[in-house]
Structure 1
Amino acid sequence: MATDRWRRVLAAAAPSLPESRLKRRDFLAASALIALLAPAPALAARKKEKSSTTASAKPGSKPAGASTGRSRRETRTDNRSRARGRQSYRPVAEQPATAPAAAAISPATTNEHTYNAIALPDEPQPQWRTYDITSLLTLSNVKGRLRLWLPLAQYRDNPWQRALGHDWRGNFDSAGVYRDPVADLEVFYADWNSGSATPQLQLVSQVAKRDRSFDITRRGGAAERGEVLRRCLQSSDLMPTDGLVRRTAEVAVGRIKDPVAQGKAIYDWVVENTTYDPGPTGIGRGDVEAMLDSGRLSGGSADIALLFVALCRSIGIPARPVFGLRIDSSRLFSGLGATGNLRTGQHCRAEFYTPGYGWIPVDPGDVRKAIRDENLGYGDPKLVVLRKLLFGFWERNWLALNTAQDVQLQGASGGPLPFLVLPQIEAGGQRFDSNDSQRCSYSVTSRRIDG
């Protein structure tokens, strides 16, 4: 019975149209059908009274001999600065207008003879939600001078994410925040001198999030800076843009000339030709060249997203990966959200740029993850909807950290990293990350403040 209902809805939501036209009706229908998917429980209970949600979360009592620091939203941009002061504001959540469309698609109230998904009115702006993200890290079995680097949320505000501030404390000798404006990267660092007993750190970041959507009928997005677009056309150590990569992209797009339709064709090709296999690292290595050479297009979210980025760049479409962390449950599928300890919740999405529209979000990795987790067949109505939805939509349950590739950590003795999504530590000149359970105890939790 449920399958019949999905088929009736999809018949209205997905009319027979050429893929290159990308009609708004497909996007609206897919967006509206989120309500048909069972919501998962939130990671944390909401506050009962609105007045109690306006106070910032405070870490626990300061241990003896511990150092503390705060970085408010107006953190100075000079390197190795240690800005002090609490965040001075929190974004006001927008109150959405009444949404008759949401009620119209409810299975209990829909008249199947009059339902028309493509006639839905414009959806209201999604609400902001504010979160406290707490990272706890303890080091053991290490010798010599220690230095730690931990990626922070993107510091540039955008219509779907705002970084509100950071608080930290621990027994470090020095700590602070630095920015790499070229890589669009903000990093927390801490140092422990040789002989420090049980190095510890607690970092609390406050962020505001809301859903991000792309509308094919609305042009006029802000133009991106030329140097950013040039950077988003370059190859990297693990991601070439010539040879086999370019030939693969040309096969994927065929004779399509419109850049939005080209991006959609590449997205479809990646979804149809990859498999999700996170492996021991959880997010993957991002070695696009090795993946294509092997002929086995399998990997984690970073591998799949970087394959999409490489194919776009190879035919002249600016594109970039966006590395981040799942921080809340998903309204789509439970496997696309976060639960409990978020230490392994890293996830990579992607976006590509077209004139007139700006950056368009995509998430082919989560399509492939849902196929694996839910055992979805290609004709499954839920997969049809999800595949359409994740071209142009990012759910707000994920925190964007950075878009940096080939990252050179400030003050590090080792070489560059392909990307920075996990805490990195150097002890006596040797580097390891937070996945090293013998030397690093690491946990991340998320608490919803409002929304």
Structure 2
Amino acid sequence: MTTVRRTFLKNTAAAAMAAALPAVNFAQAPAPARSNFAPQSGAWRTFEVTTRVDILKPQGVSKVWLPIPSVNSDYQRSQGSSFSSNGKTDLTDDGVDGAKMLYAEFPAGQPQPFVELTSRVQTQGRAVDWSKKTAVREDADTLRFFTRPTKFLPTDGIVRTTAQQAIGNARTDVEKTQKIYDWIVANTYRDPKVRGCGEGDIKTMLETGNLGGKCADLNALFVGLCRSVGIPARDVYGIRLVPSAFGYKELSGNPASLKGAQHCRSEVFLKGYGWVAMDPADVAKVMRLETADWIKNTTNPVVAPVNKALFGGWEGNWMAYNTAHDLALPNSKLEKLGFFMYPVAEDAGGRFDSYAPDDFKYQITAKEVRI
């Protein structure tokens, strides 16, 4: 079958100009010394991110779904993608959350099925100025949507009880959010043994008392607790692209190989500030893994600036895919995904393990383009 090639870059002239400029090779650059973690907005960076999937031993019809950056906001400009494959391809979305994806299907007997996707995005850091309020508007239906319960994010029972205990007598949404953020940092922990980014089943976490996990667990718990007390909140699923400018190894991506660099962040909508960045899970990651010893308090000089900055900000070395929960993949009869930030593939033998990228196999790389 002839290889299919498609391009849908939104700004062809700008894309061509950027492609002619040299890419930055972070793999050979020395890591900066760790410094005060203080991301700021204002400096846009342009990245091209390439994901390739090869089905090594297909059984019958094979199907692949690749997440496409679907977020356009004050911190990310998704500028389109190009792709190639020797299968039938379709650009589609989940039909609910607006999670865009490339779907590829291969007939039984297709030799060496593959699909490759390259997406271009611009990103910048975020840092809310708590001293300044503005008249930020958001659609009422959107805000209701991001307070809804989902399969893994219930908002009643033990979830609501836990949130109410965490917020105590806090009155404003900012105060409540700070209390919940602090509760997550104080009571949960990064568990390196959890596979991938975790599952995000927050009710089970609370009922069992097992509050260890990874980003899709800890940030999901933060989002669920916020929603349960009426604060609009959402997980933002994405991937780290390049090293941290502040020298934090655990807050970095290796652009030469981004397998395992997927990372879930979160946002809350606060009156006077709009959608505000949050990432208590990364505080837990720094506490557990940034140094040889597990740091158990947020006053430690390695942790303190991260804990402060990630309440209201994040670094722009990361790309967002989508904010989708309980996602049904088009053309799949198997169970819904809790979230979608990994390549997904199925064949007659069932769904492949997205946490084992060498099994079917996939690779993700990134390069920064200076414009």
TM-score, structure 1 normalization: 0.73
Partner residue, 1:447:
367
Report the Cα offset of residue 259 of structure 1: 0.4
Give CA-to-partner distance per residue, 1:253-305, whole Å, 9 cap, x none.
11010101110110011001111014353200101011101112100101000
Residue in structure 2 matched with residue 413 of structure 1 by the alignment: 333
Alignment of 1:23-172 (within 5 A): 65-73=2-10, 87-89=12-14, 126-155=42-71, 157-172=72-87
* Contact in 2 for aligned 1:72/1:88 (Cα 8 Å): no
Q: Out of 219, 223, 232, which is 2:137 matched to?
A: 223
- Residue 396 of structure 1 corresponds to 316
Counterpart code for 1:408? A
CA contact (8 A) 2:89 2:105 kept: yes
Q: Give the whole-Å Cα distance in 2 for the aligned partners of 1:440 and 1:124.
A: 39
Of the three residues 300, 314, 323, the one matched with 2:237 is: 323
Residue 202 of structure 2: aligned partner: 288
Cα distance in structure 2, aligned partners of 1:181 and 1:163? 19
* Matched letter for residue 322 of structure 1: V
Equivalents in 2 of 1:431, 1:207: separation in Å? 29
Residue 87 of structure 1: CA displacement?
3.5
Q: Which has the larger radius of gyration?
A: 1
The one-letter code of the counterpart of 2:161 is: R
Instruction: Check conservation: 2:146, 2:232, Cα contact below 8 A.
Output: yes
Deviation (angstroms), 1:215: 1.1
Distance 1:262 1:229 in 2: 17
Q: Which residue of 1 aligns with 2:126?
A: 212
Cα pair 1:413 1:429 within 8 Å, conserved: no
**Which residue identity does 1:144 align to in structure 2?**
G
Superposition pairs of residues 331-346 of structure 1, within 5 angstroms: 331-332=245-246, 333-339=248-254, 340-346=256-262
SS at match of 1:341: coil
Partners of 2:86 and 2:308 in 1: CA distance: 49
Equivalence map 1:417-432=2 (5 Å): 417-428=337-348, 430-432=350-352
After alignment, is 250-259 or 209-218 more displaced?
A: 209-218
Q: Secondary structure at the match of 1:381?
A: coil
Compared CA separation, residues 189 and 203, structure 1 to 2 (3 A):
same
Residues 338, 257 of structure 1: CA spacing in aligned structure 2 closer, same or farther, 3 A cutoff? same
Given that 1:414 and 1:429 are in contact with CA atoms closer than 8 Å, whether structure 2 keeps it comes out as: no
Q: With CA pairs under 8 Å and 6+ residues apart, which has the higher RCO, 1 or 2?
A: 2
Write the distance in 2 (CA, Å) between the matches of 1:303 and 1:89: 38
1:321, 1:248 → 2: CA distance?
A: 19
Partners of 2:109 and 2:50 in 1: how far apart?
A: 27
**Distance in 2 separating the partners of 1:221 and 1:440:** 49
* CA displacement at 1:220 relative to structure 2: 2.1
| Offset, 1:438 | 6.5
Check whether the contact 1:434–1:442 (CA below 8 A) recurs between aligned residues: no
Q: Is the 8 A contact 2:94 2:330 kept in 1?
A: no
Partners of 1:87 and 1:165 within 8 A in 2: no
Q: Is residue 41–residue 127 contact of structure 2 (8 Å, CA) maintained in 1? A: no
Aligned partners of 1:141 and 1:438 also within 8 Å: no
Alignment root-mean-square deviation, CA:
2.2
Contact 1:241 1:313 in 2 (8 A): yes
Distance 2:134 2:282 in 1: 28
Q: What SS is found at the alignment partner of 2:226?
A: helix
1:261 aligns with 2:193: no
**Does 1:355 pair with 2:290?**
no
What is the SS of the residue equivalent to 1:382?
coil
> Is the CA contact 1:237–1:406 (under 8 Å) kept in the aligned structure 2?
yes
Q: Which residue of 2 aligns with 1:103?
A: none
1:328 Cα deviation (Å)?
0.8
In the TM superposition, what is the alpha-carbon distance from 1:175 to its structure 2 partner? 0.8
Equivalent-residue separation in structure 1 for 2:312 and 2:357 (angstroms):
37
Query: Which secondary structure does the structure 1 equivalent of 2:326 belong to?
Result: coil
Distance (whole Å) between structure 2 residues aligned to residue 437 and residue 402 of structure 1: 21
For 1:308, the equivalent position in structure 2 comes to 222
CA–CA distance in structure 2, aligned partners of residues 397 and 124 of structure 1: 12
Question: Per the alignment, in what secondary structure is the counterpart of residue 178 of structure 1?
Answer: strand
Shift of 1:69: 0.9
The residue that corresponds to 2:31 in the other structure is none
Amino acid at match of 1:261: E
Whether the 8 Å CA contact 2:94–2:329 is kept in 1: the answer is: no
| Contact 2:67/2:102, CA 8 A, preserved across alignment | yes
Contact 1:150 1:187 in 2 (8 A): yes
CA distance in 1, matches of 2:300, 2:52: 41
Letter in 1 for 2:8: S
CA distance in 2, matches of 1:72, 1:343: 25
- Aligned letter for 1:337? S
Deviation at 1:416, TM superposition (A): 1.1
Distance 2:212 2:108 in 1: 42
What is the deviation of 1:176? 2.4
Preserved contact between residue 323 and residue 348 of structure 1 (Cα < 8 Å): yes
Letter aligned with residue 68 of structure 1 = R
SS of aligned partner of 1:440: coil
How many angstroms does 1:403 deviate by?
0.6
Moved over 6 A (4+): none
Give 1:209 deviation, angstroms: 0.8
